[in-house]
Amino acid sequence: MGWSKGLYISLVLAALDIARLSVQVSRPEKLDADAVVVAMKGRSVVLNCPTDSEDIKNRIAWIRESSKTVLALHGVLVSQSNKYIIIDKAGGAYDLKLLNVTFEDEGMYICQVNFVPMENKIISLIVVMSPQFLANTTSSSSITVKEGESLNLTCSVVGKPEPKVSWRTPDGRFASNNSSTFYVKRAKKSHHGKYSCIAKNGYAPSISKTFHVVVEHAPMIKVYSSSNSSAICIGCKVEAEPWPSEFYLTEQGLVIARQIAPGQDLLTCNVGYSRSDRQFTCQVTNTIGMTVKTILLQGQEESKFRKGALKLSTRPLPVYPTRKASTQPQRYRQMTTTNAPERDYPNYLSNAFRIRSPEFLILISITLRTYCFR
């Protein structure tokens, strides 16, 4: 292998310079930085030699202070690592470029200018990282708990510097407890909704994660009513999670309204005038429990009824645990078949044979006399 005389001399001089440099850079124990460079993890960064000299004529060497390793000398890359690149600048200066920066690259770098006397310029490289979620230790985005159980949301975040974490609750408020965990000892129905975990550390981008929390609870029933000159409407507004599987509105055991679609109310408007008190029962069941509420419609004079002066009172009953056996009224359960039509037979028959006027009673009497006494 034939080497040129000039290349051989250059290599010899470089070796002598490296030996001299290794002695000089090992002397100081603590260095004060002349410049500070901040780099984002995973990106590239360029280190400039902060010298005031105008004509340095290829006299710059780059050294890693922590290991006393010479990275580049007189514009020639000495290090065998593919992380470094020398950038040639006007006037014989050379900048050091680091590729794919990691936390291991953080530290002091020395730019040595070979003048007499020799100058050492110190560049401090700080590596930062924007917030990132740790998937293995972060809660699922959809969480279901039962009312009374504990609610625990975990939002594990890493970054440098350490990110600050805040939580936004379903009512729009912020819980800035700077904790990666949001904990509720006893979940309530009001804890149902969307939660957001937001992490920031001053370096973009900030990140957030949304959690959808479902709090399962037994049915809640709210009774309402309205009336006009001819009838009364009685309804039961239901709120439950999950949506109930059984709905009944009964009067003395007779079903007058039953299963409704999600979001609809149990409602009947076939309640006519009566002098005596009447009692209705609203019964709703889901997987958490059964709730029953009774409605007492007090009897009143016909004149007051015509004016819509309705007297209504409710008596809530406690929530019962779910039973495997059917809670349908016995009279209705006997009529239920696999292919039964959707029509409410007890209510339908009751309305069909209800006597609504004296004229109708006379008509029935004449008809029975005609066919029974021929």
Answer yes or no: is 348 within a domain: yes
State the residue range of the domain holding 236: 218-358
What angle is formed at CA 12 by the lines to CA 6 and CA 16, rounded to 5 degrees?
Answer: 140
Tell whether 187 and 265 lie within a shared domain: no
The mean pLDDT of the chain is 76
Q: Are residues 209 and 225 in the same domain?
A: no
User: Residue 368 falls within a domain, yes or no?
Assistant: no
63, HSE (Cβ side, Cα atoms, 13 Å): 26
pLDDT tens, 297-351?
A: 877 654 454 444 445 554 444 444 444 444 444 333 333 333 334 444 444 444 4
Torsion of CA 154, 155, 159, 162, to 10 degrees: -60
How many independent structural domains does the chain possess?
Answer: 3
Residue 358: which pLDDT band, with cuts at 50, 70 and 90? low
The answer to whether residue 373 sits within a structural domain is no
User: Is the same domain home to 135 and 180?
Assistant: yes
CB atoms within 10 A of CB 318: 8
Domain ends where: 101, 128, 155? 128
CATH code, domain with 286 = 2.60.40.10
Report the alpha-carbon distance of residue 125 to residue 140 in Å, rounded: 37
Q: Say whether both 322 and 208 belong to one domain.
A: no
* Residue 313 and residue 293 share a domain: yes
Rounded to whole angstroms, the Cα distance separating 310 from 231 reads 11
Would 326 be classed as within a structural domain? yes
pTM (predicted TM-score): 0.64
In the predicted structure, residue 177 carries a pLDDT above the cut 60: yes
Residues 6+ apart with CB under 8 A from 171: 193
User: Do 120 and 34 lie in a common domain?
Assistant: yes
Say if residue 111 is exposed, middle or buried (CB neighbours under 10 Å; 0-12, 13-18, 19+): buried
Both 274 and 331 in one domain: the answer is yes
Q: Is the pLDDT of residue 168 over 60?
A: yes
Are 334 and 289 contained in the same domain?
yes
Last residue of a domain, one of 86, 103, 128: 128
Percent of the chain with pLDDT over 70: 66
Give residue 51's pLDDT: 63
Tell me whether residue 364 is in a domain. no
* Three-class DSSP labels, the chain: CCCCHHHHHHHHHHHHHHHHHHHHHCCCCCCCCCEEEEEECCCCEEECCCCCCCCCCCCEEEEECCCCEEEEECCEECCCCCCEEEEECHHHCEEEEECCCCHHHCEEEEEEECCCCCEEEEEEEEEEEEEEECHHHCCCCEEEEECCCCEEEECCEEEECCCEEEEECCCCCEECCCCCEEEECCCCHHHCEEEEEEEECCCCCCEEEEEEEEEEEEEEEEEEEEECCCCEEEEEEEEEECCCCEEEEEECCEEEEECCCCCCCEEEEEECCCCCCEEEEEEEECCCCEEEEEEEECCCCHHHHHCCCCCEEEEECCCECCCCCCCCCHHHHCCCCCCCCCCCHHHHHHHHCCCCCHHHHHHHHHHHHHHHCC
Last residue of a domain, one of 200, 216, 232: 216
- For residue 369, being part of any structural domain is answered with no
Residues 165 and 205 in one domain: yes
Residues 256 and 305 in one domain: yes
150 band by pLDDT with thresholds 50, 70 and 90: very high
162: amino acid identity, one letter: E
| 166 and 189 in a common domain | yes
Which of 83-87, 307-311, 364-368 is the least confident region? 307-311
pLDDT tens per residue, range 208-265: 999 999 999 999 999 888 777 677 788 889 999 999 888 888 887 888 888 778 878 8
Model pLDDT, residue 339: 37
Of 23-32, 74-83, 353-362, which one has max mean pLDDT? 74-83
Tell me: pLDDT of 158 over 50. Answer: yes
Whether residue 330 lies inside any domain: the answer is yes
- Asked if residue 371 belongs to a domain, the reply is no
114, HSE (Cβ side, Cα atoms, 13 Å): 19
Looking at the structure, tell me whether residues 68 and 84 fall in a common domain: yes
pLDDT score of 329: 41
